Amino acid sequence: MTITKVWRAAVDGDAAVLAGQLEEAAALLSEGHLVAFPTETVYGLGADARNTKAVEGIFRAKGRPSDNPLIVHIADERQLGELVLPYPELARRLMKELWPGPLTIVLPVRPEAVSPLVTAGLSTVGVRMPDHPAALALIRQSGCPVAAPSANRSGRPSPTLAEHVLEDLDGKISGVVDGGATGVGLESTVIELPDSDTIRILRPGGITAEQLQSAAPEATIDAPASAKSEITEAPRSPGMKYTHYAPEGDLTIVQGHDPSEVTRYIQEQINATKASHLKTGVLVFDERRTAYEADLVLTYGSELHLEQAAHRLYAALRRFDAEGVQLIWAEGCSEEGIGLALMNRLAKAAGHQIVRI
Ligand code: TXA
Ligand code: MG
């Protein structure tokens, strides 16, 4: 059992103050220890990507299958040059427009640049530059390329608060940098570039297909048409085949064109379980929250602001667990913009239990 330290990081303060707050965390990271830290998407569990022992620790702490590669986080261009082989102009363009930011680009890895555990034996590595002052300062101060998956036990919802990290990993990691709530709330978009003018989205996330298109107007975007279509395809991004983000209760997504039909369907299901005395919960948009009667009613915020729903999703899923809710229904949403990533995570959290009405 390790004592897990917590370092509070003032993320909108002075750079020198932040550097002081991160000193111990950066030193531990560079010595091969595991340190969780905030990014603009979710909290990551970091280790020196070059140190196989350290990276092994990530898989052990998370209970993560070893065939699922890790994203490497960098703070500047010099670090990128050390990690990857020469890459296409399209990649350069996307980095210029969208980094730092929630975009992971899969690029050809420079041999021996990272531990083989990071790439899970692939000839590529996923790289991103996070848009978060504490993450960038920690990477810079440690001097390491930082391999970091989301800082949750494998299969659980990703952490959007330092408290979520402690819920899952207290006693298993050296520490967590507490920078408060993360912004986006869903993970980065993972892309690969199969040819000089195609962007293939392997995992929808914080950067939308629309944003990729406007950063590279001449490129063709190859995106999963909907959260549902992705499951019928062979997983190209190894992580896509595992159950993820799931609450302990049984979750069903209900999606439909007519919101009042969705509400009616969900309420009927809840009413039908009354005799069983199971604890029920719903996750719904503000517009209809008063129409529901369940043991726990949580909201995404307004359906006009799907960014807010993305920001709140994982905390809501964890709340159902904390309250012991056994049966959960969630309203689905449009798959436009960030809605594609939101529906992707919801579908996985529900084990693809989706009712379309
Ligand atoms: O926002 C994020 O991306 C967060 C924060 C911490 O940066 N990280 C994160 O990592 O979500 P993780 O390990 O939970 O998800 C990484 C995803 C997996 O689906 C994995 O299969 C894919 O990226 N991936 C990593 N390297 C890859 C590669 N070389 N080729 C294809 N997919 C890759
Ligand atoms: Mg994850």
Summarised one tens digit per residue, pLDDT across range 298-329 is 999 999 999 999 999 999 999 999 999 999 99
pLDDT of residue 226: 72
Q: Residue whose CA is closest, atom 10 of ligand 1?
A: 149
pLDDT of residue 12: 83
How many whole angstroms separate alpha carbon 317 and alpha carbon 331?
A: 13
Assess whether pLDDT exceeds 70 at residue 234. no
What number does the ligand 1 atom closest to the CA of 240 have?
Answer: 19
Assess whether pLDDT exceeds 90 at residue 177. yes
Cα 191 to ligand 1 centre (Å): 10
Helices (H), the chain: 15-30, 52-62, 77-83, 89-98, 116-119, 133-142, 162-169, 209-215, 229-232, 259-272, 306-322, 339-349
- Please write the tens of the pLDDT for every residue from 5-58: 999 999 888 999 999 999 999 999 999 999 999 999 999 999 999 999 999 999
pLDDT of residue 345: 96
- Please write the tens of the pLDDT for every residue from 181-217: 999 999 999 999 999 999 999 999 999 999 999 999 9
Cα 290 to ligand 1 centre (Å): 38
Q: Is 282 left (phi over 0), alpha (psi -120 to 50) or beta?
A: beta
Q: Which of 117, 150, 154, 345 to mutate to test the pocket of ligand 1 (most atoms within 8 A of CB)?
A: 150
Under 8 Å CB-to-CB from 257, ≥6 apart: which residues? Answer: none
